[in-house]
Amino acid sequence: MLSKQEAADAVRQAKVKTGVTWAQLAEAVGKPLAWTTAALLGQHPMGKDEAATAAALLELGGDAALAFQLQPTRGALDAAVPVDPTIYRLYEVVQVYGPTIKELIHEQCGDGIMSAINFRLDVRRVPDPAGDRVVITLDGKYLPYQW
């Protein structure tokens, strides 16, 4: 049986081999694009039918489908400070703007946090004359602290 990480590696390789896109995979399994991508990269468990559909589309075997169904260890990075340039930029955003985001959440909503469980994510490219932009929307339910 494959581990979640081995299955994620197999997914990346199969995407190159088959030419299947993340959007095609999301449509096939009937889930949002960001959720499907995260699930196939090992961050969410898939249902049996979703896993079988993804494995078939990627021309992967039953071991991959089983791995897609395993409960993940979420948020596991290889290092405390990410070294991949794209992921590092997000880390940098949190380093620079994290305190600002926290203050604005508290001012607008009260003493609480944004959920990463009841959560939606969208990533899109937006044309711009000065160079295309990447728009990332983090949409989490507000959770007040309860004392």
> Which residues are marked as active site?
89, 92, 115
Residue with the two structure tokens 């499907």: 36
> Hey, CA dihedral for 55, 61, 63, 64, is it positive or negative?
negative
Strand, helix or coil for residue 136: strand
* Separation between Cα atoms, residue 132 and residue 130, nearest integer Å: 7
Residue 112 burial (10 A CB sphere; 0-12, 13-18, 19+): middle
Contact assessment for residue 50 and residue 68, using Cβ atoms and an 8 Å cutoff: yes
Interatomic CA distance for residues 74 and 32, integer angstroms: 18
CA–CA separation, 50 vs 43, rounded Å?
A: 15
